[in-house]
Amino acid sequence: SGAPAAEWGGFEDNMQGGGSAVIDMENMDDTSGSSFEDMGEMHQRMKEEEEEEAEGEAGAGEEEDGEFLGMKGLRGQLGRQVADQMWQGGKRQASRAFSLYANIDILRPYFDVEPVQVRARLLESMIPVKMINFPQKIAGELYGPLMLVFTLVAILLHGMKTSDTIIREGTLMGTAIGTCFGYWLGVSSFMYFLAYLCNAQITMVQMLSLLGYGLFGHCITLFVTYNIHFHSLFYIFWLVVGGLSTLRMVAVLVSRTVGHTQRLILCGTLASLHMLFLLYLHFAYHKVVEGILDTLEGPNMPPFQRVARDIPVVSNAVLNTTAKAIALTL
């Protein structure tokens, strides 16, 4: 009984020891569980922190992109505003320029003239001035010169009809208008440039008016000589009528030019061009136009027509003799 008691005591000790061991294992299991839970929580927190950092970086990137796009949009708006302002400014300038040149009030002073004044200036264009010590007055209007140019065009067309010139493919009004207006505008521009070089006190409008009224002598000469075909009559009108209108223009230019050399160059050039233009209109204009028409349209060939042939006299005699012989034999 003693042995079993000892054994039982040992067993109790073992059980106690085992119980402590079991308790220790339980404590270890609890410790290990808490450590695992702590590791999981730490891992979860780290993951959450990484996600928060990633979200923060994404938000910052979006904010930076928004700022960039905002700056870009602002620049685009500024560019559009500048372009719109430039377009509006150019549009206003263009409309102002168009209204400036399209306004009839600008041209009204150059055509606001009475018929009595035009008639007086036409007569004055044939009377040379005597006083050249002070600048002579020049009419600054274009109504009279423009009407004289159109009158010269009509006279040239009339001369083409009276000279038996064959007009093909319409009229020659375009050629006449080009010739007259080309001389008026071209020579006026050239003389104004030459007057500027010679220091003559004259404007472009005054030069156009002076040369335009100078064509009055040309109109009279050509109108008379186109209807009365005598070369001697033309030369008389060329010297008298054309010479008077040319002297009028020369005297006006001399009164507005300082210096003998400048006067000689300016007046000699104007007189030569004006008198030679009258010779060209009378002698060479029609031939030149006919040559141009022949070059553009070909020579004027008459249409093919059937013409009855004339029987020669010898054949008539032979036929008569043969008829008589046949009648005698019958």
* Cα(295)–Cα(290) distance, integer angstroms: 9
| Predicted confidence (pLDDT) at residue 61 exceeds the cutoff of 60 | no
Percentage with pLDDT > 90 across the chain: 31
What Cα–Cα distance (Å) separates residue 198 from each residue in 90, 247, 274? 40, 19, 19
Most confident stretch, 19-23, 106-110, 136-140, 172-176: 136-140
Residue 3 token pair:
């042995």
Contacts of residue 117, defined as CB under 8 A and 6 or more positions apart, other chains included, come to 139
Q: 254 or 132, which is more confident?
A: 254
The per-residue pLDDT for range 175-200, each reduced to its tens digit, is 889 899 999 999 999 999 999 998 88
Side chain identity at 181, as an amino acid letter? F
On the question of pLDDT at 101 being above 60, the answer is no
Max CA distance (Å), the chain: 211
Q: Lowest-confidence range among 25-34, 67-76, 226-235, 243-252?
A: 25-34
- The structure tokens listed for 239 are 């010297």
**The predicted structure's pLDDT at residue 246:** 93
Most trustworthy range by pLDDT among 70-79, 108-117, 269-278: 269-278
Residue 77 structure tokens: 């708006």
Confidence of residue 264 (pLDDT cuts 50, 70, 90): very high
Looking at residue 196, what is its pLDDT?
92
User: Which residue shows structure tokens 């992109």?
Assistant: 65
Report how far apart, in Å, the C-alpha atoms of 298 and of each of 15, 74, 295, 305 are: 145, 70, 6, 20
Q: What would the pLDDT profile of 136-174 be if each residue is shown by its tens digit?
A: 888 888 999 999 999 999 998 888 777 665 555 445 678
Confidence of residue 301 (pLDDT cuts 50, 70, 90): very low
Model pTM score = 0.59
Beta-carbon contacts of residue 169 (< 8 Å; ≥ 6 apart): 293, 297
- Cβ–Cβ contacts within 10 Å for residue 218, how many? 27
**CB–CB of 156/281 below 8 Å?**
yes
Query: pLDDT-based confidence at 55, cuts 50/70/90?
Result: low
CA geometry: angle 122, 127, 129, nearest 5 deg: 120
Q: Is the dihedral of CA 303, 304, 306, 312 positive or negative?
A: positive
Separation of alpha carbons 243 and 162, rounded Å: 25
Q: What are phi and psi of 299, to 5 degrees?
A: -65, 150
Could you give the CA distance from residue 33 to residue 40 in angstroms, rounded to a whole number?
10
Asked if 189 and 166 count as a contact pair (C-beta separation under 8 A), the reply is no
CA angle, 211 then 99 then 107, to 5°? 25
Mean pLDDT for the chain overall: 74
What are the tokens at 168? 């093909």
What are 24-38's pLDDT values in tens digits? Answer: 444 444 444 445 445
Name the pLDDT band for 283 (thresholds 50, 70, 90).
confident
On the 0-12 / 13-18 / 19+ scale of CB atoms within 10 A, 190 is middle
Alpha-carbon span 153 to 203, nearest angstrom: 26
Residue type at 308 in one-letter notation: A
Q: Are residues 234 and 222 in contact, defined by beta-carbon separation less than 8 angstroms?
A: no
Distance (Å, whole) CA 247 – CA 316: 72
Note the pLDDT of residue 103.
63
The pLDDT of residue 204 is 92
Helix axes 143-162, 204-227, angle to 10 degrees: 30
